[in-house]
Chains A and B, each alone.
Chain A
Amino acid sequence: MSVPLHGIIAEYESAEELLHAAKRARQAGYTRMDAYSPFPIHGLSEAIGFEEHKVPWVVFISGVIGAIAGFSLQYYVSVIDYPLNVGGRPFLSWPSFIPVTFETTVLFAAFGAFIGMLALNGLPQPYHPVFNAPRFERASQDRFFLCIEAGDPLFDRVKTKQFLENTGARLVSEVEE
């Protein structure tokens, strides 16, 4: 009885080889895969068929919430709860409220970017099976990996392995769940 597989992973020596392999895997019909590289590679997420534009929306919505929160706070304080006559200005002297509104907008949007990015990436995540892959520690240093996951409809232990071996990989190995 063999251990369930997370997928089959191939190791490459350059970003170009990885990009090329990812494109070939897509052409071969694989849909569930992930690539690992020590720096962001332009076009790699498109090559593995991953498209998502959630982060900018999270940031935008957080910013809008920040703006509303900042302005409402000042409105509540200066008009409703603690109206003060400062130099004869109206209680709702909105131009004076812009700087703080701006700062809360940026603050909330920045938290949106940080937390949104982490949450969408599923981080913090103490365990992920891909770390079982041999030499995977080099994905954060100088090697490039492509992993075709076991959940892929075309996944076949032998054929997928052969396919990856033919993409110019230096090492192809199985990753246990």
Chain B
Amino acid sequence: MQQQIVRTEPAERLIEGGHSYESITHKIGSVVLSYKHPKAWYVVTAIAAAGVFMLITSIAWLLLRGVGIWGINQPVGWGFAIINFVWWIGIGHAGTLISAILLLLRQQWRTSINRFAEAMTIFAVMCAGMFPLLHVGRPWVAYWLLPIPNWTGAWPQFRSPLIWDVFAVTTYFTVSLLFWFTGLIPDFATLRDRAKKRISQVIFGVLAMGWRNSAKHWHRYDAAYLLLAGLSTPLVVSVHSIVSLDFAVSLIPGWHTTIFPPYFVAGAIYSGFAMVLTLVIPIRAWYKMQDFLTMKHLDWMAKIMLATGLIVFYGYIMEMFTAFYSANQYEQYLVANRFFGPYAPYFWALLICNGLIPQVLWSPKVRQNVALLFIIALIVNIGMWLERFVIVVTSLHRDFLPTSWGMYYPTVWDWGLYLGTIGFFTFMMFLFVRFVPMISIFEMRDLLHQTDRHHPAAATTAAATPVAHTEVTP
């Protein structure tokens, strides 16, 4: 059985600036081990910490007063909580796509961004998980969602997508965390060996768990890492498909469609890549990581964003077509209501943010313009949030009977909780950048080794006697 991760020949150099193993290790590792950080780090972290306080306040008030402080009502019972849940979990999905699917597809450019994207997944899923927990109304009995024997004698109802969601999201979070930590072990060992301060040596020593870079360790590590990637790949598809089934299994017009699972998964990847770009662009500039996060990386991420954006846009068109072709008056009214109803501005804004503006990414000039790329990524983030707003609110607020129609207006506490999670997410991401190597150091060394072997002119190590043929063909 072939266990090793077979790496293909890189088509081009993915690391710029004539680096060696030592300089890569120093460049990435010193961000964690030194105490000098760009001013921007302090400014953003302080603002984000304010957001964390806002989050805590919003949750505290919610626990005191109940979900009545939100704008939810009959018929719109889902509101911001579910919009934001789907938005955050979608953002998380790009992390798994980059770390797992691109690994299986042997896309070596993922090496520079996978650690970062996986961290993003973990913090985004944390934000996502808060919303349904708080939305249940009595979070202190949220353990009823889990199959734990309790005094009521009742069990979860396993035919409901909502309970599938509990399993999908908790599994996703756990597996993402295991995958991330597995990837970090060799880097913790590197930091342990480089640390000068006793406290850093002890902390990274404990986290590395005695990792000693042995060939036997690496052998099992490669097998485990590849298998984790292979497990995460169907997992990520299942998670967002199950999220979409929360909607699609119901009978509400606009939700009851079979296109939801693939369309949600594409949307998740779309928004996730937008969030990676939103975070990577400033951090790359502040920490001067342009050698590792090259313009090629930004270009490819922009292309994936464009491609998934087109799939999402196809989803919108199919929804409209299905409504027309179904000859179902409720489905047809839903589409008309989206275009011309009370929430029409949201829908039009969604079409502009997600459908129209990303089309400028066809131009290579735009993809090479970092500032413009950042703005487009922000617009896509907003667009994907609007998409979930339109799906949740326009479907619920006017369903079958005009007597049960209503309107939904978010309150200040809805916004406080939502912006609070953005603060929390940013806060955690910036702590991550500060305390954990933001790029996988050992994979970058491996990438350099691969590249140098195929571009001997650019070799930076003093390899005296290169062995004629070292590759063992699988």
Contacts and interface: CB of A to CB of B under 8 A. Distances in A.
A40 B168 contact: no
A68 interface: no
Contacts of B6: 42
A44 B178 contact: no
Interface residues of A, number: 76
Given A40-B5, A56-B227, A50 B175 contact: no
Contact of B218 (A16, A41, A78): A41
B463 interface: yes
Contact of B186 (A89, A126, A140): A140
Given A55-B3, A168-B464, A36 B223 contact: no
A102 B238 contact: yes
A55 B5 contact: no
Interface string B1-17: 10111110000000000
A48 B242 CA distance: 46
Nearest to A36: B213
B158 A100 contact: yes
Interface string A98-137: 0110111011011101101110111111111011000001
Interface residues of B, number: 76
A74 B466 CA distance: 59
Interface string A10-34: 0001111101101000000000001
Contacts of A50: 215-216, 219
Interface in B203-220: 209-220
Contacts of B467: 16-17, 19-20
A126 B202 CA distance: 11
A40 B153 CA distance: 52
B200 interface: no
B212 A40 contact: no
Given A77-B158, A107-B174, A117-B220, A140 B190 contact: yes
B161 to A, nearest CB: 8
A163 interface: no
A23 B33 CA distance: 37
A3 interface: no
B158 A36 contact: no
Given A48-B215, A123-B209, A100 B163 contact: yes
Nearest to B156: A77
Contact of A40 (B194, B218, B470): B218
A142 B20 contact: yes
B220 A120 contact: yes
A38 interface: yes
Contacts of A138: 193
A77 B445 CA distance: 50
30 contacts: A13-B461, A14-B462, A14-B464, A20-B465, A20-B470, A22-B215, A38-B21, A39-B443, A39-B449, A40-B4, A40-B222, A43-B4, A52-B219, A53-B1, A55-B227, A73-B147, A77-B155, A78-B155, A78-B159, A84-B157, A89-B159, A93-B159, A100-B158, A103-B168, A104-B167, A106-B171, A106-B175, A107-B171, A110-B228, A113-B182
Given A99-B164, A113-B224, A114-B228, 11 more contacts: A36-B213, A36-B215, A56-B223, A59-B227, A78-B158, A82-B153, A116-B224, A125-B209, A126-B210, A141-B22, A142-B21
Please provide the 10 A-B residue pairs with the shortest distance between their CB atoms, ordered closest to farther. A117-B224, A125-B210, A142-B21, A124-B209, A137-B193, A14-B463, A45-B219, A39-B446, A40-B218, A43-B472
